[in-house]
Each structure stands twice: as structure tokens, then as C-alpha cells.
């Protein structure tokens, strides 16, 4: 199931409204929804004690006030870290900076993000990317499907789709939850050529915007072959327009408010 405005690509907030807010924090996702995003994108990794958390990098060094591998830390350790201050390191010296709720500084579990999406006052889709390679291999997808089952979101009509650059990971998802939508992320044409015959016809193609700019005919070919197209990471008016022109179904963007406003003007 996909929620969007008729005639427009769905606007998917990339790690939340991450241009203006610290990525993968609850505050970034609430801001994205308040800006009109119809879906939320997140990356997930597995902690040492088996929790799925929304963190892009293998290490926490870039986005937290600590160093270390996500996979070697348990949730309690991660929960002690600040995942927000890196975005505005001088905030404590700014008397006009808004107060930040402590919950919005902490590591965000996928469960908490799903609860926030479920509780919002309109339907919200989720695009969840599993990161590979990882020391836990297929356990990541298993834990993900188990969590979706807890919410009743592992079958037909689910608001969730699963994304990955790994067709092996997506095959795991399809075996456990055959009715879920899945998106094979594509960063190079040759990667698609190598894997397209290993994918189901219902798999969604997920090319990067750089690839489509350089090869717009690739999108036309995908559509002629019946493929739905979700594109990342789309942040400029020209790229929004290109996606509309190419018949893209969803745009994943750091600037959901700008995307919503621009696409609305184009209708």
C-alpha cells in the first residue's frame, strides 16, 4: 500500500527531514511528517543484544558523541549517547536555540519509529533499508520481519517496504514475508544488469538520482518493462521535475517540505 497525492511522486523523508535536523532522530521524523512527507525512510542495524536501531554508518563516530561499532554495542550503551548535537555543535552557546527534548537526542529504535508512524494523525508509509555487509548477516532481516509481524505489518496492505543494495537480503525478506514490497537499490547500471534476472517482476527498482540524470532512458526502459521506480536522494527542483517527467513513483529526499511544495505547484 502506498499513500501519495494523485499524479505526484510520493515524498519520502530520507532519514527524516535530515537537511535541517540531525538524521535518524525522532525530531527529524516528526518534522518531516509535519512538513507533509507521506513516507519515512530509515536505515537499520542490529545491536549486540538484538535490537534494530536507525543508524546509517557501521560506526557511531559521525553522528554521536562517542566512537565504536553499532554491532558491538548493546542498546543500553547506545541509549546513553547524544545523536543530535553534531548537527549544531554550538547550540549550547546560542541563547535563542530551541530546547531539544532529551528523547529526541537518543538513538532511535525501529520500534519507536514505527510507533510514531502508527500514531500519526494520517497514514504514513515506511521505507526501511537493511545495511550490508554486517556481522549478523540474515539475522537483520529475520528481526525486521518479526518486528513487522508484531505490528501486523508483514502481510498484504502493509505500509512498509524493505530496501537494500543486496538482492540476497531482499530474497530473504521475500521468503519470510512474500507479500511485502521490496526495493532493489541501484547505484550503477552494471549492478542492475548483473542482478535484474535474479529479481522478481514485482520488485521495485531504486536507482540513485545521479544515475537517472546521466541515463534518463534507463528509467524509460524500466517502465516499459513494468517496473515501479523509487529514486534517491532527490533534493533540487530540477531533479524533482526530472522524476515527474520520468514517471517515478516515489522520491526520497532530505528536504521533504521543499519537495511537497514544489510538486504541489507542478500539478
State pLDDT tens for residues 171-218.
999 999 999 999 999 999 999 999 988 899 999 999 999 999 999 999
Of the residues 14, 24, 51, 230, only one is catalytic, namely 14
> Which stretches of the chain score pLDDT less than 50?
93
Q: 10-265 architecture in CATH?
A: Alpha-Beta Barrel (3.20)
Rounded distance between C-alpha atoms, residue 145 and residue 143, angstroms: 6
* Catalytic residue check, 3: no
Residue by residue, what is the 3-state secondary structure of 5-38?
A: CCCCCEEEEECCCCCCCCCCCHHHHHHHHHCCCC
Q: What is the pLDDT of residue 5?
A: 74
Q: What is the pLDDT of residue 231?
A: 98
> Percent of the chain at pLDDT above 90?
85
Extents of the domains making up the chain: 10-265
Question: What would you measure as the largest C-alpha separation in the chain, in angstroms?
Answer: 57
Which residues lie closer than 8 Å to 243 by C-beta, 6 or more apart? 9, 209, 212, 231, 234, 251
Strands (E), 122-203: 125-130, 160-164, 181-186
* Catalytic residue check, 24: no
Of the residues 3, 51, 56, 230, only one is catalytic, namely 56
Q: What is the pLDDT of residue 13?
A: 98
Q: What is the pLDDT of residue 93?
A: 46
State pLDDT tens for residues 69-82.
999 999 999 999 99
Coil, strand, or helix at residue 59? strand
Q: What is the pLDDT of residue 98?
A: 57
Amino acid at each position: 500500500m502506498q499513500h501519495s497525492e494523485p499524479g505526484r511522486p510520493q515524498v519520502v523523508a530520507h532519514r527524516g527531514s535530515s537537511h535541517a535536523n540531525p538524521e535518524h532522530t525522532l525530531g527529524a521524523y516528526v518534522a518531516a511528517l509535519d512538513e507533509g512527507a507521506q513516507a519515512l525512510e530509515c536505515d537499520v542495524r542490529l545491536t549486540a543484544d538484538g535490537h534494530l536501531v536507525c543508524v546509517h554508518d557501521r560506526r557511531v563516530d559521525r553522528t554521536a558523541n562517542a566512537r565504536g561499532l553499532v554491532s558491538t554495542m548493546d542498546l543500553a550503551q547506545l541509549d546513553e549517547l547524544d545523536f543530535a548535537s553534531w548537527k549544531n555543535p554550538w547550540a549550547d552557546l546560542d541563547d535563542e536555540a530551541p530546547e531539544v527534548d532529551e528523547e529526541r537526542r537518543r538513538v532511535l529504535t525501529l520500534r519507536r519509529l514505527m510507533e510514531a508512524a502508527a500514531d500519526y494523525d494520517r497514514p504514513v508509509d515506511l521505507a526501511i533499508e537493511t545495511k550490508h555487509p554486517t556481522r549478523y548477516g540474515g539475522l537483520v532481516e529475520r528481526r525486521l520481519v518479526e518486528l513487522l509481524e508484531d505490528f501486523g505489518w508483514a502481510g498484504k496492505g502493509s505500509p512498509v517496504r524493505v530496501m537494500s543494495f543486496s538482492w540476497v537480503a531482499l530474497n530473504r525478506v521475500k521468503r519470510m514475508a512474500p507479500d511485502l514490497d521490496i526495493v532493489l537499490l541501484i547505484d550503477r547500471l552494471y549492478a542492475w544488469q548483473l542482478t535484474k534476472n535474479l529479481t522478481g517482476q514485482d520488485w521495485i527498482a531504486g536507482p540513485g538520482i545521479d544515475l537517472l540524470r546521466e541515463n534518463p532512458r534507463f528509467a524509460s526502459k524500466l517502465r516499459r518493462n513494468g517496473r515501479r521506480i523509487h529514486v534517491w536522494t532527490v533534493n533540487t527542483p530540477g531533479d524533482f521535475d526530472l522524476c515527474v517527467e520520468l514517471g517515478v513513483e516515489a522520491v526520497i529526499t532530505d528536504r521533504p517540505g521543499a519537495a511537497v511544495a514544489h510538486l504541489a505547484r507542478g500539478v
